[in-house]
Amino acid sequence: MTDPSRSYPFGTLVAAMVTPFTSDGQLDLEEAAKLAVKLVDDGCDGLVVTGTTGETSTLTDEENLTMFRVVREAVGGRAKIIAGTGTNDTRHSISLSQRAEALGVDGLLLVTPYYNKPSQNGLRAHFEAVADSTDLPIMLYDIPGRAGVPIATETILRLADHPRIAGLKDAKGDFSAVTRVLANTDLSVLCGDDGLTLPWMSAGAHGVVSVTVHVATAQFRRLVDAALAGDFATARAVHFELDPVIRATMTHLQGAVSVKQILKWQGVLPNSAVRLPLVEPDEQELIPVKADLEEAGWSLPW
């Protein structure tokens, strides 16, 4: 397991947790609590609640806050509860962050403001304004493929000086850029791309914020623990085991769609319901997902 003498403000194996819905599209809070407990029991030491994979963009503020409360009540004290409170409206992000803090979460995930395409000065001002409004540690979330703009390395280096900006979820896929961050800051860097966990940790990242971890928690725990211990032979072997599973969850369908379907096959969730504009996959779309899982040696009741 992780070294207790080191500081991991957001954990090392962090699930980008899905938000379970009932068949008619309402929050399924009982299933959310059960899923949180299972993930922590199986090895996660952090949960991002209502991030991208949690379908935050289709949740109301009250639904987001309810999820923060329910997950904290289920596993608070056993894992870091990181609230996804980033939006593309700074005032809205501040309000949601402060309300999440009042519920007792352990940290905040702030995604790059999307759609607006702010300048780097605008990004810095946005993140600093939210950080100034709370006492919680903040993890920046750099994902230009969704946000439309990257957080430039120079901007991250400057933001790292803020006393409450403590981490980075890196989903930019630029090894040179993340190397500069690791070499020049004390940020707790977590890989934001499941398939890049091994190389990012080889350079000093603390772990991963993962979608695939929902369906392969124990394997990811082994990979992360081995990498943290410097046992890269073991980490590499687990990386190869996980490759087809990661492909199944991350390359054919949107992550929440695929992982909810696999969790249904595994009997963890009662359904694979998502909210529009996401839709559940049809049988044709599931063919490559099944093929990848079969390559991994999985046999599920599909």
Active site residue 34: no
Query: Would you state the pLDDT for residue 2?
Result: 56
Q: Which residue in 8, 141, 172, 260 is the catalytic one?
A: 141
Active site residue 141: yes
Q: Which residue in 80, 114, 169, 264 is the catalytic one?
A: 169
Q: Which segments of the chain have a pLDDT < 50?
A: 4-5
Query: Would you state the pLDDT for residue 5?
Result: 44
At 77, the amino acid letter reads G
Largest CA distance in the chain: 51
Query: Would you state the pLDDT for residue 11?
Result: 98
184-211 residue pLDDT tens: 999 999 999 999 999 999 999 999 999 9
Q: Which residues of 18-31 are buried (b: 16+ CB within 10 A; e: fewer)?
A: bbbbeeeeebbbeb
Which residues neighbour 99 within 8 Å (Cβ) at sequence distance 6 or greater? 61, 65
237-296 residue pLDDT tens: 999 999 999 999 999 999 999 999 999 999 999 999 999 999 999 999 999 999 999 999
The pair of structure tokens assigned to 198 is 């091994």
